[in-house]
């Protein structure tokens, strides 16, 4: 995993009923770790909007902003994604892991859901829910394979060392992409998971060791082989 930036989101979003009807809303606060002379430039308005003004500083390119760090509250993001995805028609339950760069989502379609929907369309809807919550650089991976739900939940609940966790995430992503539809490409420059061509090639060339969370859970393809 690469850490592109640090974002401190003790949740920095309010998702209201006007944009997502009949969907749970998450209200959050912005926290900023910064020098005292910049804190005064952030205002809280009576309408609950975030608002800030700042005059260009010629020193900004010389490390002036190096002491400002924004981090995302990963637990709040994971909860929001699970809640919104579980509110989609036909979705019965959802498990979500949010790392500093990836979102892994396992979802189950209700057995009594009587509306036919292309699995790729369902995957795309789940993915778009996640993309509406997390920063744009994130990659999103989804699976409707019940066998891989164990993988996703193991990553979220197991304390592994950094190396084993990296392997668990990478191997689970590989299995998710093999077993389940990922929806439609996000745009002309990115695939269905939000990866550019270069990122996709790098992942294809990377050697992945099966991690503890994935060793005992075969993909759907291998089970049907």
pLDDT of residue 46: 64
Q: Per-residue pLDDT averaged across 55-64, rounded?
A: 69
- Asked if 136 contacts 186 with a C-beta cutoff of 8 angstroms, the reply is no
d(CA 132, CA 97): 15
User: CB atoms < 10 A from the CB of 156, how many?
Assistant: 17
Q: Where are the domains of the chain?
A: 73-224
DSSP code at position 61 = G
Residues in a beta bridge with 10: 29
- Whole-model pTM? 0.70
Q: Are strands 71-72 and 8-10 parallel, antiparallel or unpaired?
A: parallel
Q: In angstroms, what CA-CA distances link 183 with 119, 137, 140, 214? A: 8, 18, 10, 23
Tens-digit pLDDT profile for residues 154-180: 999 888 888 889 899 999 999 999 999
pLDDT of 24 above 80: no
CA proximity to 9, closest of 64, 60, 80: 80
3-state secondary structure of 199: helix
Q: Per-residue pLDDT averaged across 88-112, rounded?
A: 93
Residues in a beta bridge with 44: 50
d(CA 122, CA 125): 5
pLDDT of residue 45: 53
Which tokens go with 124? 């795309």
Tokens 């637990």, located at residue: 75
pLDDT of residue 162: 83
Q: Per-residue pLDDT averaged across 4-25, rounded?
A: 41
- Asked if 115 contacts 89 with a C-beta cutoff of 8 angstroms, the reply is yes
CA proximity to 80, closest of 25, 7, 17: 25
pLDDT of 39 above 50: no
The continuous run of DSSP H or E covering 9 comes out as strand 8-10
d(CA 177, CA 166): 17
CA proximity to 141, closest of 158, 155, 157, 123: 123
For the chain, the first-to-last Cα distance in angstroms comes to 31
pLDDT of residue 76: 95
Of the chain, the percentage scoring pLDDT greater than 70 comes to 64
The continuous run of DSSP H or E covering 202 comes out as helix 197-205
Tens-digit pLDDT profile for residues 63-80: 566 667 778 899 999 999
- Count of positions (residues) in the chain: 225
Which tokens go with 183? 């929806």
């Amino acid at each position: 995993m690469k850490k592109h930036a640090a974002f401190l989101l003790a949740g920095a979003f309010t998702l209201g009923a006007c944009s997502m009807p009949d969907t749970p809303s998450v209200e959050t606060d912005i926290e900023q770790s910064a020098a005292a002379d910049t804190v005064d430039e952030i205002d809280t308005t009576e309408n609950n909007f975030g608002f800030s003004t700042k005059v260009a500083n010629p020193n900004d390119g010389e490390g002036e902003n190096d002491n400002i760090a924004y981090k995302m509250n990963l637990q709040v993001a994971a909860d929001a994604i699970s809640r919104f995805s579980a509110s989609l028609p036909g979705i019965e339950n959802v498990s979500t892991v949010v790392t500093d760069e990836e979102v892994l989502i396992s979802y189950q379609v209700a057995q009594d859901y009587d509306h036919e929907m292309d699995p790729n369309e369902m995957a795309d809807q789940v993915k778009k829910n996640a993309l509406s919550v997390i920063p744009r650089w994130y990659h999103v991976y989804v699976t409707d394979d019940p066998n891989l739900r164990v993988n996703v939940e193991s990553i979220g609940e197991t304390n592994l060392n950094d190396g084993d966790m990296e392997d668990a995430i990478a191997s689970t992503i590989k299995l998710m992409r093999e077993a389940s539809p990922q929806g439609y490409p996000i745009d002309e420059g990115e695939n269905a998971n939000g990866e550019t061509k270069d990122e996709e090639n790098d992942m294809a060339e990377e050697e992945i060791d099966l991690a503890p969370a994935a060793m005992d859970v075969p993909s759907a393809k291998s089970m049907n082989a």
